[in-house]
Structure 1
């Protein structure tokens, strides 16, 4: 058994931790010096209101605290963005890229994203999502997926991995072995993927196999259960999934990262420290603790890991193996060339993704429209990020579909064009009812869907953007003749 001090350091080497502020607290700098593998930044750590300098300085301070610590974030582009929190992302998101189905573009967009992240001082991106989104009512994946066809998702998974890593950012294929066939959110529940082993291999695993073959440096687990594989608890805690399937069958040799351990799908009922121990025992190498596990909680996780080694519940050799894999990941990130310059491929991709069903009115017919956006709660993974076309259409009104009166909107739009903007209307009956009421009286209305275009109302034109990032909104605004300008980030 390793000595106590070295055991603490080995436990630290398995930790990817958050912190409280936009500057590096002392406990983080000391922890990195004491062997903590790295940090994961969230919205509360990133302030780009005055430009990138503050974030660059923060990441420089973190990186100087140890030899090549991992500086990570969950930046998918599209709807899940950290660097685009203030105004939305400059990258269109996976659903838009899958709708275009140009793998060269997908690689270029992710290379541009990677170059921006490297320029800001990041080394590890907990992306791309390579889940096959086969469940329309999926509350947590949706537009984060390249699509519902496994072969399409596989080829774009490989392109995204290569693009990020072309720019020196370690890519993380997620959420293994596939979160796309779920109708529950693992932040609050333990979702079930009810599929046979044969279907899982031909559908869910295909993109992960492609990502592994493309050289993905990391794979992130899913807090889901898979009875078809004989798994009754979370995949994150299953050696059948992480060792037999991911390492044995898919041949993955990189770093296995847990999805956030503060999510109820893995730690509900057992707590984060116990989930950490079981994750390591199952085959995770690096533990993403979540957003609010600060100094005290990190110490509790480390203590639980070292106690499990001393008690024989967690073999010391497993902890050493995890540390070796994480050290190899850190060495890879340290050995990357200087980043290139981000390109404008994100906006190009968003423009190419926009499609129209029906007949779009001419710019003169759309002059001075009444624009309403129907608001619904966002998923936990997305958070509060601006969306819609209001920046290009002054006077746009954001409504709560469950409480709004369609008669009031119809009265305001009398004699003027009417545009209704929705997001995943197929998942929200109150939105569908509201939009249907508008379209019955105004069949000339234009409806813009900024989520998945599953539901098509009876209207003159149905515009689909396959995402709600800033560039998706700008692309729709260009199409509708809005006062196009670039909002200040």
Structure 2
């Protein structure tokens, strides 16, 4: 094992290829010691298998790893692979009852805790401007106004926090006004600083104290960074706005660097270096974890002063990660039944009764 590789690996959250820890993943994890892993539908076969996978991933590292998932509700619900799909943010918002959203947060936290997960990359803090826009946000927004987002997202955060699962507000600086899906290409956010402050940045600013971390998305924001650098790699956005203007000292993670917005323009090691230099602490590498060797080697060469600031923020949050609780299939079934009841209490009857999972049929690149 190379000390250099572990110095760079600590800034990485990696995906894994399938439902088991394959030899390549095991070798990589032991060599570079990533800070943790992110799990997807491709990793889930059954409740028992998924808990066993997470236990094995935890045992690969000599410290408590971040074990992350995107469990927002609706179509971005990885665990619908084996159970009921929770209602989406939009459906919950349309009911207008924060207590339903709080139930959703609580049940989400219970479900994740049972499997040994400790970090949910949710909630979405973007505003719904056009639910039909091709910007990846369909049905994922808690409001059509800043106040509505704050009202309902805060209820979700309260429910989940009570169960010990850490949160992540996303996707700063905002996908609301873009018309290109960042999974495919780099969008441009043609908004002035005054417009951003007056609308889509309000939920981020007001919920900073409630979020355990923030995720930076991939958009051009020419009014703030005229160079056209994607926001996730832009010092003007991450350092200039989050760190300096908003005085945010918490954990910042990039959206997946394997998304087309970044992968079409940058080699992965270069993108990861730019992300850390911009002020991020962790980078997501979800679909090409085999490149973790090169990325870890590149990041290990960054100045120690730059790495040490990110390391302090990572460790501060790592110390708050929840330990796993004993797994029980009966407990899983009981939680899943309650999620089904939440669907029934939220959705119209004709939608609540529809099947909510479809086996292993998933897009190769899943929505964040």
User: Which TM-score bucket, shorter chain as reference?
Assistant: 0.7 to 0.9
Deviates more, 1:4-13 or 1:154-163: 4-13
Q: What residue in structure 1 maps to residue 252 of structure 2?
A: 256
CA contact (8 A) 1:276 1:301 kept: yes
Do structure 1's residue 192 and structure 2's residue 70 form an aligned pair?
no
Do structure 1's residue 109 and structure 2's residue 107 form an aligned pair?
no
- Count of residues in Structure 1 that have an aligned counterpart in Structure 2: 350
Query: More helix per residue: 1 or 2?
Result: 2
Residues 95-142 of structure 1 show CA distances to partners (whole Å, capped at 9, x for unaligned) of 011112222321221110111011011111111111112134422102
User: Structure 1 244/345 Cα, relative in aligned 2: closer, same or farther at 3 Å?
Assistant: farther
Question: Secondary structure of the residue that 1:170 maps to in structure 2?
Answer: coil
Structure 2 residue corresponding to 1:13, chosen from 10, 13, 28: 10
Do structure 1's residue 322 and structure 2's residue 310 form an aligned pair?
yes
1:29 Cα shift?
3.6
Question: Secondary structure of the residue that 1:71 maps to in structure 2?
Answer: strand
CA contact (8 A) 1:101 1:152 kept: no
Question: Matches of residues 54-133 of structure 1 in structure 2 within 5 Å?
Answer: 54-66=49-61, 67-85=63-81, 89-133=84-128
Do structure 1's residue 287 and structure 2's residue 275 form an aligned pair?
no
Higher relative contact order (CA 8 A, sep 6+): 2
Question: Secondary structure of the residue that 2:167 maps to in structure 1?
Answer: strand
Question: Secondary structure of the residue that 2:208 maps to in structure 1?
Answer: helix
CA contact (8 A) 2:44 2:50 kept: yes
Q: What residue in structure 2 maps to residue 134 of structure 1?
A: 129
What TM-score does the superposition give when structure 1 sets the normalisation length? 0.66
Do structure 1's residue 163 and structure 2's residue 159 form an aligned pair?
yes
Please report the RMSD computed on the Cα atoms of aligned residues, expressed in angstroms.
2.7
Structure of larger gyration radius = 1
Structure 2: unaligned runs, 5 residues or longer: 360-368
Q: What residue in structure 2 maps to residue 37 of structure 1?
A: 35
What TM-score does the superposition give when structure 2 sets the normalisation length? 0.86
User: Structure 1 76/486 Cα, relative in aligned 2: closer, same or farther at 3 Å?
Assistant: closer
Question: Secondary structure of the residue that 2:170 maps to in structure 1?
Answer: strand
CA distance in 1, matches of 2:182, 2:170: 13
CA distance in 2, matches of 1:472, 1:333: 39
CA distance in 1, matches of 2:147, 2:110: 27
Question: Secondary structure of the residue that 2:78 maps to in structure 1?
Answer: coil
Question: Matches of residues 147-296 of structure 1 in structure 2 within 5 Å?
Answer: 147-214=143-210, 216-231=211-226, 232-291=228-287, 293-295=288-290
Q: What residue in structure 1 maps to residue 296 of structure 2?
A: 302
Do structure 1's residue 25 and structure 2's residue 22 form an aligned pair?
yes
User: Structure 1 103/38 Cα, relative in aligned 2: closer, same or farther at 3 Å?
Assistant: same
User: Structure 1 118/241 Cα, relative in aligned 2: closer, same or farther at 3 Å?
Assistant: same
CA contact (8 A) 2:90 2:140 kept: yes
Structure 1: unaligned runs, 5 residues or longer: 310-314, 355-464, 466-470, 478-484
Q: What residue in structure 2 maps to residue 429 of structure 1?
A: none
User: Structure 1 158/253 Cα, relative in aligned 2: closer, same or farther at 3 Å?
Assistant: farther
CA contact (8 A) 1:16 1:38 kept: yes
